Amino acid sequence: MKHGSRVSYNLIAGTSVERLAALSDGIFGVAMTLLLLDLHVPAKELIRDEAGLTHALLSLTPQLLVYLMSFITLGIFWVGQQTQLNHLERSDRQLTWIHLAFLFMVTLLPFSTRLLTDFIEFRPALLVYWLNLLLFGITLYASWGRATRAGLVKDDLSAETRAAICSRIIVGQSLYAFGAMLCFFSTYLSIGFIILVQLNYAIAPAEWRRKA
């Protein structure tokens, strides 16, 4: 009687790219919603007239800037992860756990956003936020490295595309690091620079000029 060879569980676990993408979409959606829940309208009992409401709304500007920065952050890294997943033929256990670590960083962003909102003038709060961004980049870079080394990417993927994905992460993280260092001059300057970097990635004006 012939017995089939034993199959290692680790070889068959976490191979579905579709399920990983579905989980990622859900976690990103929840994180984006949690960012919004931290935005509060001015307390009604403290507003006596239109001037008071205007002043209260203007005082929300720093909070809105941090919210904008975090929402764009999630958008950029969602696009980055989906770009990688779209180029995968399959996943494996190690790659799936790297992406789960990436999603753990996603769940931390509402916390680092709230910390920065409440202590926007303090450098440690900005550095904690930047650390969150750094860990985003490290896990995303590690996932792409694992995918390419393990032969999990699609066969028709060009060398130029592989390099473009890596260089985008490295350049982006370098700019974020420079932006974080600006907090030693001003946390507002740091936030402003990071938002400009993010808008550049989101809008991609260089691509518009290329197509014009």
Instruction: Check residue 2 and give its pLDDT.
Output: 47
Instruction: Check residue 205 and give its pLDDT.
Output: 65
Instruction: Check residue 177 and give its pLDDT.
Output: 93
Instruction: Check residue 85 and give its pLDDT.
Output: 87
Instruction: Check residue 7 and give its pLDDT.
Output: 62
CATH 1.10.10 fits 14-211, yes or no: no
Cα–Cα distances (Å) from 193 to 63, 185, 187, 199, 201, in that order, read: 16, 12, 10, 10, 13
Q: Rounded distance, CA 146 to CA 169, Å?
A: 15
Residues forming a β-bridge with 153: 88
Q: What is the mean pLDDT of each run of 10 residues along the chain (212 residues)?
A: 57 70 91 82 72 73 85 92 87 88 94 91 92 94 89 82 87 92 92 90 68 55
Residue 193 CB coordination number (10 Å): 19
Q: Rounded distance, CA 189 to CA 166, Å?
A: 28
DSSP secondary structure string for all residues of 84-121? HHHTBS---HHHHHHHHHHHHHHHHHHHHHHHHHHTTT
pTM of the model: 0.84
